[in-house]
Structures are given as structure tokens and as C-alpha cells.
Amino acid sequence: MTPERSGATGLRMGIDVGSTNTDTVLVDADGSVTARAKVPAVADLAECIDTAVSSLLVRGTVDPAAVCAISLGTDRSQDSVDAGADLRRVAVLRIGAPLSGAIPPMATWPAGLRSMVDAGTAIVAGGCELDGTRIAPLDERAVARFADAVAGRADAVAVTAVFSPVDPADELRAARILADRLGPVTVSASHEIGSMGLLERENATVLNAALSGGVEHTASALRAVVRRHGMDAECFLTQRDGTLRALGHATRFPILAIGSGPANSMRGGAHGSGLADAVVVDVGGSRTTVGRLVDGFPDESTSPYTIGGVVTNLRLPDLVVLPLGGGSLRDARCNGGPLATLTDAAVADGRTTAGGVGVPESDRAGLARRLARYDQLLAEAVDRIGLGAHGLPVLVVGGGGGIAPDRLPGIGRVVRPPHGEVANAVGAAVAPVGGTAERICGGRPDLLRRAVEELSAEAVDHAVQAGAWPERVRVAGVEEIPLSYLRDPAVRVRVRAVGPPLVPPRMPGPPSGRPGVPSRSPARSPR
Amino acid sequence: MRCYVLDVQLSDQNIEAYALGCAVLGAGGGGDTPVGLAMARLAIAESGPVPVLPPDGLGPDTLVMPCGLIGSPTIAHERIWSGQEGRQLADAVAALHDRPVDTVMCYEIAGANGLLPVSWAALLGLPLLDADGMGRAFPEMQQQAMHVAGVPAGPLVLTDGRGNDIVLHTANNTDAERLARGCTAALGGVCAGALYVMTGPVARSAVIPGSVSRALQVGTAMQRCRDGWPSALAELTGGRVLAEGRIVELERSSGAGFTRGHAVVDSGTTDTRRLRLELQNEVLLALEDGEVVATVPDVIAVLALEDGRPIGTERLEYGRRVGVVAIPTPDVWWTPAGLDVVGPRLFGYDLAPVPGSARPVATGAGRDS
């Protein structure tokens, strides 16, 4: 269906580690799901991955060597911030003095989280105005002094300059000075993480740096499983924009993986249905998540995203989450269990079949009312996410999908794609590798044109660094969003490039008519 | 030694409620509050609570400095303040008037503009006047009660927070608005400004009294509510709930410093009442089935039904459940002179102003001729 999937001539494996289950699928070069497994999730991520892969490969029908790409989706980064666990100590450098001193770095963080992450902060001279005019020359000596002051205390560094989305030069220069003096610590630069809004972008950058340790653990766990099972596959992590990044690149941007779960479900649902524009309803055990796919990618929210009490300007998929799902099947009435669940309601209503016991007559009136209420909330959520666009199809995925009705008011049709129960793993398996580039520039047409050209080249470059097949990367979208409340127009331009993953060559080789598989680039590390 | 009436002070205990009140009274205008709230918190932590002084408490020889943000709130989110702005404004104003500033005042109670002067007052060690110039958010600087009272806006001081100050001596308040906008662009798109600087006795009759305590009262009440925010807000302010329902239509465009468009709220449970809101940065008109039910200068506030938070016009979303409340504005805006600067015609609507709720003051005087 999508051109991306044909990049792999072998099998692609998708793994989604959720809070309840780990889902795994294998997808062949034609995009068909050839194997799937669902195992209960445990606390240890490495164990989750290993169990899931084992259960898929144990059947003996799959040759591990035929697996050419493995994509892992996990929201463990989010858990890590919420729990304050596995976070690195971060030195936070802001460039913008004499401006910005009224709210120093991390001044708005909850004290507990700050005490775990803060390894020293400083504000040094530099940065620019919206039109690119320098606020002050970058104080390189102050950057060096800061590096010396935090050496030995900080495991990672976050650098944020005022208006770096307009001109990232000071961030890049400071990052180089810090790397030279501090050696092998992770340096996160804000222009690669977020957009306008200094404090929110800085917060996101600090969190990204803090998460860089945890994501490395995830990466090594995945690599170990791959080796143990005799696979020679390229490894990827899923991102919240519905794309993949190769491990070596993804570990630099752990924060971009937060929110990837819903993105994977949406893409997986779309894959099985052949739809690229749809509302996707993902019904789990305890909640229902409603999102929107636009041209194959998750629609993004405009609201700021708060994580662990820290406000960021990360743009997560725009979702409505209902605190209602199918319930635990094991405990359901239709399985002889003690709980009257919405799955029981759907069984009583004839929407789905589950369990073997049937639903007691005495429960039916109450269940019918709960199901009607669910239908109403779902219809409203679908309408809100679909922006009232009548006729938009609705894709129902997830393990509890049976409780969703076949008809919703104002909806064209309800589609239940094949393998919808493991849509998140399917989405991880089939996603393209992506790269983005973003900048704020003046609204003059010539400036805009030049920015789009430069950013397109940059986005393609980023996609290749993230592990895309260089010959087959294409620009998938150009966004131009005018900034509001400005006297002189300025535009935020964002370009996204995607391509199939570049994977190790397989026998019997690429299908005829395509260029030969290029040799693997020796280094995936970014510039 | 000066003596203040310490009825109220803004402290770490109530600053969040006050910020919520500023957001509600601003109906989403005046800039988002988080940056201003963080600054006020930090300044209070550093310098202590800010005493709030009723206008009646102003002595004869005192100097009042109305101040706030001028320019683009969007840029202010990136170009975070240096923290020196209040000091720079106060020093420049003192030099112009040959005496020190005694009292800081918000020129606009709405949003960030209700909070920045709090942080500056704290750092300067000065009280904040329990007053403002608008009682809500308005886009232009001559839309101030002081203008209606005949107080000159100039000489006004603008500072960019990194050492550049501009002093404007202006012929009239309309020119002051025009020239200040031009200077703001040259100062990076946003700056701190002090304008309508006046003595205590002039302030007593020229300002809108009680704005700070009103914001605090509204914010405190809204924080305590668990649901039913629209009716609570209407009751508290003497206003009226215009609609509770979902946004079923939204058209909005941004550009040239403005957000324009309209939204339709469908109450749609028992009846099919549809309330149409006309937007220009703020909500300026509300029409029910074609009939105008509220106009500027009353505040038309849109609140999220799930948590009672005000939603600015930029953040309105299709399908959201909202409550719309008309909040009466101070009487000065319903006088003929007030309506000359803030009435619907000033915003391009050729219609007579309609108060959103019953007003004790005869509004006949307010109808445009």
C-alpha cells in the first residue's frame, strides 16, 4: 500500500511495549502480517522485548536471519520522567544575556524533579532577535568556564539560545565548545527539539538530555535481543510523528519518542485499511484513544504538553482520551468473572462475541445504558477530532475494539482493519524512517522560498542520518504556519522527509527493476 | 514616611488565584499568564509580598506609574524579560518627572499585563495600585480610562530590557499609540512601557478602581469551584451566561497582528440555540439567532466547561465544550466618551452597543449617536 514498506526485501518486525501487553508482528515485503504475538508486559523492558521476540520466533516457521529491520515502540521515557527514575544529571546553558534573566533555567520546575536533574545552570551573552539581529556576541569564554564548572557533575548538557529557531549558530558553536571540553557527554541543542517559546523549548531540551541515559539502556537491550536470536537486523525506535529513527540517531532524541504509542496505532490501523485520512479509535482495556490521521501522519495538538509538572512545547498527536475501555476480559461476566464490563455490554448487544458463558439477564439493562453512554461519548470525541468533517471514515483498532459500534452519527463508515488488535505493533513495523527540519523566517515570498529549499535538503539529510535509504527519501510535507500577533509577518516552516529503512542486503536480493541495495553507510552518527 | 492601607497583598499564597482572575477578566487577551506568573512568583520570593494600595490611599504628592507589556505576546514568549525592565522604567520616569515613582499600576489587568507590574513592583519595593486603565483587555493604548479622563499618555517610556530606552513626547494619545507601535518594532517586537504617568490626586479620579482586588476575588472563586464555572462567574460579576455547549463551527485567520473570525456554540440538548461569536483577538460580539445579545465593551468570556479555564481566541478548538459568559465592564466604558474609544464601531461593527446583562446604570446614554 504505502511505498515505504517495499524498502525492505526481508521481514520487518514491529514491537510495541505497552503498559499491559507487549505486541509483536512480522510484516513481509508485500506488507502482509505473517506472524503476531501478544504477551503480558513486565516491569523490565529487556525482558518484555525478549519474551515478545521469543514467542514470535519459537514457532520455528520464521528464519531469524530473514528479519531485516526491527522497530520498537515504547513510552518508557514518559514513565521515567513521571517516576523520576533513570534520569541523567544535566548542565543547563542558556544563551541570551542580558535578556531572559527574569526566569532562570529550571526555575519553574517542581523541586523534586529539579533536584534529580539539575547539575548547574548559567545564562551567557548571545542569541538574536526575531529578525536575526544579534542581542550580543556569544560569550565563548563564559561557555568554556561553564563547561569547566560542571565537568564531572553533569552527565549531559542542554543548550538553548534566544531565537535559535531563527538562527541556531550560537547553539551549534556553544555545543562544540562544550563537547570539546567535556568529552563524551550528550549535548542537546534546543533548535533540534522544539519551536518558539524559550522556556518550553528549554524545558524539552533539558528533559531530552536527562532521558539520554534511559534510551541508551533501551537501545542496548534491543541490540542484545537481536544478537541473542541470531538476527542481523537494523534497529529503529518509533517517534511520535509516526516515523522511525535508527538506534544510533534515536538515542540523541529520546524525547521525540514520547507519544509514539498512539502514532503507531494510527499508522497500523491505516496500513491494514489502505486509508491515509481517517479518525482512528483505539480501544484498550481501560481507555479509548481517538486521534486523526492526515495524509498518513498523526495530526498534532497545538496545546503545550506538560510532563512531570514541566511545561514543554512538544507537539504530541492530538488525542481525545476517554477513560473507558473493554475492561479485563478475564474478569468479565461473559467469562464467568465478577465484573460487568463494556465487553459484556457489547456481547449482550450482539456487537461482538467473547467468552463462553453469556451475560446474565439481570445485568443487561444497566449494561445497555453504559454502552449507550459510551457510544455518545465516542461519537462526540470522533466529531471533535474529525473537526466535524462528515463522511470521514473511522478506523477501529485495539484489543477492545469489539465494543465500538458499527455506526456512528455523521460518520461515513466504520472500518475494522485486519490485525487491528495489534495495530500498534503493525504501525511500528511498517513506519517509514523520517527526518524533519524547522526554522522561523520572514514572511517575504523570496525568503520563504529559500527557506523551504534549504530545509528540504536538511530534512532529507536528517532522514538519511536516521537510517533512511538515501536513494528513496522524499519530502513528505511542507508546513508554513504564520506566527500570530506580529506586526511584520514571520512564518514557521517545517519540512518532513521520509524514506524506507536502509537495511542489510538479503537473499535473494532486491526485486528486479529497482536500484541495487546500496552498501550500508559505515557510520550513522550525525555530523 | 508613607503609610499604606494594607488590606490586601499579593503573595505566594494568592498569586496563582490572581493570575487566574487576570486571565478570566482578560477573556484570553493581554497575553498568556504563565511567563508573567513565573516572574511574579520569583520576584515575590526574592523581595517579599506586594502591598496593594487603594486609590483613596494615594497621597497628594505621589507619582503613579501605569505600565506593562507593549507589542507581541508571541515574541515575549521567546524573548524572555531581563528582569531589569521595571527598574529601567521607574528610573526614566523619575528623571522625566524629577521625583521618584511611589506606586506601580497595571495599565491593563488582563493576562500577562496584570502580572508583569506585580513582579516589577516587588523588585522595586513599591506598592501596586488597586486599579487599572481598562478593566479587561483592549488592543490599543488610548483605550484607557485615563484617556477618557483627559490624562495625557506621554511622555511615555519604552525599554527593551537590554539597555535601550525610548522616551516619546507626544502631541496626543492617538499619536502616542501610533508612535509607540513603531518604536516597539524597533525594540525587537515587544517591550516594557510606562504611560499615563500621573500624580495621586489625578489617579484617584482617572483610573478604574478595584481591578486588582476584583481579579483576585474572581480567581479565588473560580479556583474553589469544582464545576458550574459559567454560572459561578456570572453570579460573581453580575454577568449572564450566554451559552453552554459545543463549538460546532470555527473560522479563524491570523495575520498582521490580529486573529479574526467567528465561532458558533451550539447548546443543542433540549433546544437548538446557537450563539455566534465574532472574534478579533478578543470576542467582541455575541449573536443569538441573528440578534445581538452582547457587544464590546462588556467582556464576552469563553471558558472550558471541563475546568473553567478561560480560552483565548487563538486556543478555541472545534468540538470543545465551552461556556460563554458576558461580564459587565466598568461604567466608564458605557458613557458616551467611553464608547467613543471602545464601542463596537471602533472595531468596525456598525451597530449600537448592547450590554450582555442588565445594568443598573442607564445604558441609553451609551448608545452611539
The shortest C-alpha distance from B282 to chain A (Å) reads 12
One-letter-per-residue 3-state SS of A426-450: HHHHHCCEEEEEEEEEECCHHHHHH
- Inter-chain CB proximity A103 and B42 less than 8 Å: yes
DSSP 8-state symbol, B268: -
- Inter-chain CB proximity B319 and A385 less than 8 Å: yes
**Residues A167, A191: contact at Cβ < 8 Å?**
no
pLDDT digits (tens, 9 = 90+) for A169-189: 999 999 999 999 999 899 999
Q: Residues A160-168: what's their mean pLDDT?
A: 96
Check whether B230 has a pLDDT greater than 50: yes
Q: What is the pLDDT of residue B313?
A: 84
Give whole-number Cα distances, A71 to A149, A444, A471, A496, in Å. Answer: 39, 41, 21, 20
Give whole-number Cα distances, B123 to A450, B66, B85, B129, in Å. Answer: 45, 16, 10, 15
Check whether B54 has a pLDDT greater than 60: yes
Look at residue A301 and give its three-state secondary structure: coil
The residue type found at A98 is: P
Looking at the partner chain, which of B82, B188, B281 has a beta carbon nearest the beta carbon of A102? B82
Element (H, E) at B156: strand B156-159
Give whole-number Cα distances, B138 to B99, B178, B333, B346, in Å. Answer: 30, 15, 12, 11
Q: Residues A233-244: what's their mean pLDDT?
A: 94
Neighbours of A434 (CB within 10 A): 26
Q: What is the pLDDT of residue B7?
A: 61
- Inter-chain CB proximity B80 and A486 less than 8 Å: no
- Inter-chain CB proximity B73 and A198 less than 8 Å: no
The shortest C-alpha distance from A125 to chain B (Å) reads 11
Measured torsion, CA atoms of residues A13, A17, A23, A27, in degrees rounded to the nearest 10: -20
Q: Minimal Cα distance from A202: which residue of B? A: B78
Q: Which residues, 6 or more positions from A259, have their beta carbon under 8 angstroms from its beta carbon? A: A75, A78, A240, A305, A314, A316, A317
For testing contact with chain B, the best of A484, A488, A491 (most B CBs within 10 A): A484
Distance CA A350, CA A373 (A): 17
- Inter-chain CB proximity A101 and B82 less than 8 Å: yes
Give whole-number Cα distances, A460 to A82, A315, A437, in Å. Answer: 34, 21, 9
Q: Minimal Cα distance from A385: which residue of B? A: B319
Q: What is the pLDDT of residue A220?
A: 94
The shortest C-alpha distance from A143 to chain B (Å) reads 19
Q: Minimal Cα distance from B256: which residue of A? A: A487
pLDDT band at residue B368 using 50, 70 and 90 as cut-offs: very low
Q: What is the pLDDT of residue A82?
A: 84
Q: Residues A252-267: what's their mean pLDDT?
A: 92
Check whether A312 has a pLDDT greater than 60: yes
Distance CA B81, CA B79 (A): 6
Distance CA B71, CA B74 (A): 9
Phi and psi angles of residue B234, each rounded to the nearest 5 degrees, phi first: -65, -45
Cα angle A238-A244-A247, degrees, rounded to a multiple of 5: 85
**Residues A404, A382: contact at Cβ < 8 Å?**
no
Beta strands B240-255 and A433-442: pairing type? unpaired
Give whole-number Cα distances, A306 to A310, B23, B112, B278, in Å. Answer: 5, 19, 20, 31
pLDDT digits (tens, 9 = 90+) for B169-182: 999 999 999 999 99
Check: complex ipTM more than 0.85: yes
C-alpha cell at B225: 469551584
Q: Residues A465-474: what's their mean pLDDT?
A: 95
Give whole-number Cα distances, A484 to A249, A438, B74, B174, in Å. Answer: 33, 17, 7, 24
Distance CA A293, CA A26 (A): 23
Tell me the β-bridge partners of A440: A492
Check whether A512 has a pLDDT greater than 50: no
C-alpha cell at A450: 529559500
Give whole-number Cα distances, A21 to A56, A94, A259, A268, in Å. Answer: 14, 41, 17, 16
C-alpha cell at B230: 459559567
Distance CA B85, CA A25 (A): 59
Q: What is the pLDDT of residue A210?
A: 96
- Which chain B residues contact residue A302 at CB under 8 A? 315, 317
Check whether A225 has a pLDDT greater than 90: yes
- Inter-chain CB proximity A388 and B319 less than 8 Å: yes
Q: What is the pLDDT of residue B294?
A: 96
Q: What is the pLDDT of residue B64?
A: 98
Q: Residues A209-216: what's their mean pLDDT?
A: 94
Q: Residues A180-203: what's their mean pLDDT?
A: 94
pLDDT band at residue B3 using 50, 70 and 90 as cut-offs: very low
Give whole-number Cα distances, B19 to A259, A400, B40, B345, in Å. Answer: 30, 42, 10, 31
C-alpha cell at A68: 531485516
Cα angle A328-A333-A334, degrees, rounded to a multiple of 5: 95
- Which chain B residues contact residue A130 at CB under 8 A? 75, 78-79, 188-189
For testing contact with chain B, the best of A94, A95, A99 (most B CBs within 10 A): A99
Check whether A410 has a pLDDT greater than 90: no
For testing contact with chain A, the best of B37, B41, B78, B305 (most A CBs within 10 A): B78
State the residue for C-alpha cell 501522519: A297
Q: Minimal Cα distance from A379: which residue of B? A: B319
Distance CA A327, CA A365 (A): 18
Tell me the range of A208-212, A229-233, A510-514 where mean pLDDT is highest.
A208-212
The shortest C-alpha distance from B329 to chain A (Å) reads 25
Q: What is the CA radius of gyration of chain A?
A: 24
- Inter-chain CB proximity A487 and B256 less than 8 Å: yes
pLDDT band at residue B267 using 50, 70 and 90 as cut-offs: confident
Distance CA B311, CA A486 (A): 20
Burial of A340 (0-12, 13-18, 19+ CB in 10 A): buried
Bigger pLDDT: B192 vs A380? B192
Tell me the β-bridge partners of A118: A90
The shortest C-alpha distance from B23 to chain A (Å) reads 17
The residue count of chain A comes to: 527
Between A50-64, A106-120, A232-246, A357-371, the lowest mean confidence (pLDDT) is in: A50-64
C-alpha cell at B316: 478555541
Q: What is the pLDDT of residue B74?
A: 84
Closest CA to B187 of A19, A99, A158, A510: A99
- Which chain B residues contact residue A135 at CB under 8 A? 162
Phi and psi angles of residue A39, each rounded to the nearest 5 degrees, phi first: -130, 150
Distance CA B245, CA B248 (A): 9
- Inter-chain CB proximity B254 and A484 less than 8 Å: yes
Closest CA to A280 of A394, A406, A388: A394
Look at residue A479 and give its three-state secondary structure: strand
Distance CA B118, CA B126 (A): 9
Q: Residues B156-170: what's their mean pLDDT?
A: 95
Q: If you write DSSP's letter for every residue of B233-262 in order, what string do you get?
A: HHHHHT-EEEEEEEEEEEEEEEETTEEEEE
Q: What is the pLDDT of residue A516?
A: 38
Determine the distance from the C-alpha atom of residue A389 to the mean position of all C-alpha atoms in its chain, rounded to a whole number: 26
Q: What is the pLDDT of residue B366?
A: 38
Measured torsion, CA atoms of residues A428, A429, A433, A436, in degrees rounded to the nearest 10: -20
Beta strands B156-159 and B103-106: pairing type? unpaired
Distance CA A403, CA A368 (A): 12
Q: Which residues of B295-315 are buried (b: 16+ CB within 10 A; e: fewer)?
A: bbbbbbbbbbbeebebbbbbe
Prediction pTM value: 0.90
B contact residues 318-347, partner A, Cβ 8 Å cutoff: 318-320
Q: Minimal Cα distance from B43: which residue of A? A: A102
Check whether A522 has a pLDDT greater than 70: no
The shortest C-alpha distance from A370 to chain B (Å) reads 19
pLDDT band at residue B44 using 50, 70 and 90 as cut-offs: very high
- Inter-chain CB proximity B314 and A197 less than 8 Å: no
Q: What is the pLDDT of residue A506?
A: 59
Q: Residues A482-491: what's their mean pLDDT?
A: 76
C-alpha cell at A313: 512545547
- Inter-chain CB proximity B80 and A102 less than 8 Å: yes
Give whole-number Cα distances, B239 to B7, B293, B298, in Å. Answer: 26, 12, 9
Distance CA B66, CA B43 (A): 18
Check whether A90 has a pLDDT greater than 60: yes
Mean pLDDT of chain A: 89
Q: Is the peptide bond before B155 cis (omega within 30 degrees of 0)?
A: yes
